[in-house]
Structure 1
Amino acid sequence: MVCDKCVKKLGKVVVPDKWKDGASNTIQSGGQKINENKLLSKKHRWTPYGTTKCVICKQQLHQDAKYCQSCSYKKGVCAMCGKQILDTSIYKQSNV
């Protein structure tokens, strides 16, 4: 769960756009190099063991966030900023 402000902070997809007209990450527009592995490039190096962890359950997160998906849904907060976006007082949720 992510609030409206944090939607633009979400990570981008590594694969190029399906439609080439106006795409910013195609070879023709100069945005992508030939035979470049985006996961291993110096600018956005991917680490398999993430550095950020969930505040509640200490699970490793794949993006810069405070809470994992399950903890943010249980608490009703935004996963990235921690803002309350859902009232879970009337929900019947289990601890599993």
Structure 2
Amino acid sequence: MVCDNCKKKIGTVATQEVWKSGSRNTVESGGRKLNENKLLSGKSTRYSPYTTKFSKCKVCKGTIHQPGSTYCQGCAYKLGICTMCGVKVLQTKNYRQSSV
């Protein structure tokens, strides 16, 4: 779960999402160019899983694979907080959540 302020920090995918009418990176919406070389037009640093250091979750100390996040998806859902900044997003008082 991500709050409204952190939605713009989430990375985008390189391929088109043609099955969704409101997707961010289709050709019609102007988010992607035709015949674009992603290697040349992308960021100067490419993602490499061997050189990237994954951060740890503040609650369970598990690895987080989304860059910029401080909490893993499971802990963020259980606590009802944003995965990136930790702001309370959802009230989980009346939820029946397991401790597993």
Shorter-chain TM-score: which interval? 0.7 to 0.9
| Gap regions ≥5 residues in structure 2 | 19-25
Q: TM-score, normalised by structure 2?
A: 0.70
Structure 1 position 53, deviation (Å): 1.5
Q: Which runs of 5+ in 1 are unaligned?
A: none
Q: Which amino acid aligns with 2:2?
A: V
Contact 1:56 1:71 in 2 (8 A): yes
1:68 to 57, 67, 72: 72
Query: Is the alpha carbon distance of 1:61 and 1:25 closer, same or farther for their aligned partners in structure 2, counting shifts above 3 Å?
Result: farther
Give the one of 56, 59, 67 matched to 2:59.
Answer: 56
TM-score by length of 1: 0.72
2:34 corresponds to: 26
How many residue pairs were aligned?
89
Quote how far apart the aligned CAs of 1:47 are: 2.0
CA contact (8 A) 1:53 1:60 kept: yes
The amino acid of 2:12's aligned partner reads K
Partner Cα separation in structure 1 for residue 61 and residue 6 of structure 2: 21
Superposed CA RMSD: 2.7
Structure 1 runs of 4+ with >6 Å offset? none
Residues 47-56 or 66-75, more deviating: 47-56
